[in-house]
Structures are given as structure tokens and as C-alpha cells.
Amino acid sequence: MKMIIAIVQDHDSQRLADRLAKNDFRSTKLATTGGFLRAGNTTFLCGVRDERVDELLTLIDDTCGNREQTVAPVTPMGGNADSYIPYPVEVEVGGATVFVLPIEQFERF
């Protein structure tokens, strides 16, 4: 069994959740924040049998598209001034950042 951790854009998260359920993949969805843009993104945890890992990765790839995003400056009010980006920057926000981890043990109590 593997644990797939997929960080996707909020924009794609509902569609991905729907497609996972429709294809009988179990998942847990977390509301997360990117360390660089400080904007919301969504992290999916999916515990999946080894033989379905490729199918799941293809589904994520098909569902989450790459796009450019211009990041406006964010006022560092109440935050850390060291991380202040004083000018708009264009970044390519990945369709999905995916980690595949081995699972040592899986239990349901």
C-alpha cells in the first residue's frame, strides 16, 4: 500500500474529489497553505493499494492543470516582514505536487 500526498490548487480540488470518489479511491482532503505564495491550496491524502498507484497518478495528472499565476504584493501586516515580496511575480503553479510514500501498517479501529 502507498500513501499519495497530492497538493493541488483550490481551483481543481472539487473536481479531483469528485473524480476520486467516482473511481472508488478513498481520500481525505485538507485545507493547506503554500509556503511561498501564502495562498490556500488543498492537500489530498490517499491510501491506495500498490496496483492502483499508477491509475491514481494518471487521474491526478488529468484533473489538475498547470497555470501561470501573478502574485500581487502582500502587505506584511502582522506577518514576517522578511518574507515580504514588494513586486508582482509570475510563477507557474504546478498542476499537482505529489509525494508517494510507503505505508508500513494500515489499521481501521
Where does this chain touch ligand 2BA (CB under 6 A) — which range of 12-20, 26-34, 57-65, 74-82? 26-34
Q: Which of 19, 47, 53, 85 binds ligand 2BA (CB under 6 A)?
A: 47
- Rounded to the nearest 10 degrees, what angle do helices 10-22 and 53-63 cross at? 140
Secondary element (H or E) of residue 61: helix 53-63
Residue 11 as a binder of ligand 2BA (CB under 6 A): the answer is: no
Gap between the Cα atoms of 36 and 29, Å rounded: 21
Which residues of this chain interact with ligand 2BA, rule CB under 6 A? 7, 24, 26-28, 34-37, 39, 41, 45-47, 91-94, 97, 108
